[in-house]
Amino acid sequence: MAESKEAQGSQPTHGSGPRHVAIIMDGNGRWARERGLPRAVGHRMGVEAVRRTVHAAIALSVPVLTIYSFSSENWSRPLAEIDDLFGLMKRFIRRDLAELHQAGVCIRIIGERTNVDPELLGLIDEAVALTRDNTTLTLVIAFNYGARGEIAKAARRLAEKVAVGELKPADIDIAMLDSELDTHGIPDPDLLVRTSGEIRLSNFLLWQCAYTEFVFLDAYWPEFGQDLLQQAITEFRARKRRFGGLDARSTG
């Protein structure tokens, strides 16, 4: 039986930095509304926050950064806003890809490709191919992503293998299901940060966040940058992670 990722990295840690930071980027619209600006301006400022945060992750030696850029539930938003979000994604790749590649950023995309503009898919594929061998920072972009759908898809793949006799139901374990997820090969997040003061996961990395430390910030996403990332990491370092075990000083 394959060893689970929890077992591979389950030793208590205290004081070390996170290997993987995941961020739910929330509050673009509220940031704009409080300033009397259109939501589209909030989204554009949110892209600037992404740029700052990528550079901050490199400066703070974070190996993996995952950002939640477009969820599978975001399709319920007005079509004009969806088009604007897709346009911002295109411009981000066109404008920043060369710089990200030069900085050693490896881009990975998780999520579904269905219903996505073919032009955007082409740009995504180009970014992934160009940067696949970079090692300074792995930037995981969760785009058209939903954790429940991801888990259901992984279970369906295993069920198909059982149906054709490649697997027995008893063979399926945590590691096997994990290997079918979009994030296969990426360490689980040590730290998840959500901006805007909301306290929920919103269908983001539900499987992967089993032992993740959460930090919820009142700041809106357009305000995010190195100072707030450092604040979240400092709080993370102050925590004792036991992964279901006991603190060395505990007696029961």
How wide is the angle at C-alpha 25 spanned by C-alphas 7 and 89, nearest 5°? 110
- How far is CA 144 from its chain centroid? 12
Known catalytic membership, residue 173 = no
Whether 212 contacts 23, CB under 8 Å: no
Q: Which residues pair with 23 in a beta bridge?
A: 67, 193
Q: How far is CA 226 from CA 106, 164, 176, 229, in A?
A: 20, 50, 36, 5
The pair of structure tokens assigned to 247 is: 């603190």
Cα R_g (the chain), whole angstroms: 19
Q: Which of 74, 84, 134, 203 is catalytic?
A: 74
Cβ atoms of 193 and 24 closer than 8 Å:
yes
* H or E segment to which residue 87 belongs: helix 79-102
The phi and psi torsions of 71 (rounded to 5 degrees) equal: -95, 165
165, 135 contact by CB (below 8 A): no
H-helix segments, 103-248: 118-131, 147-163, 174-179, 226-237
Whole-angstrom distance, CA of residue 23 vs CA of residue 40: 20
| Residue among 91, 191, 104, 190 at smallest CA distance from 139 | 104
| Catalytic annotation present for 203 | no
Mind telling me the catalytic residues?
26, 74
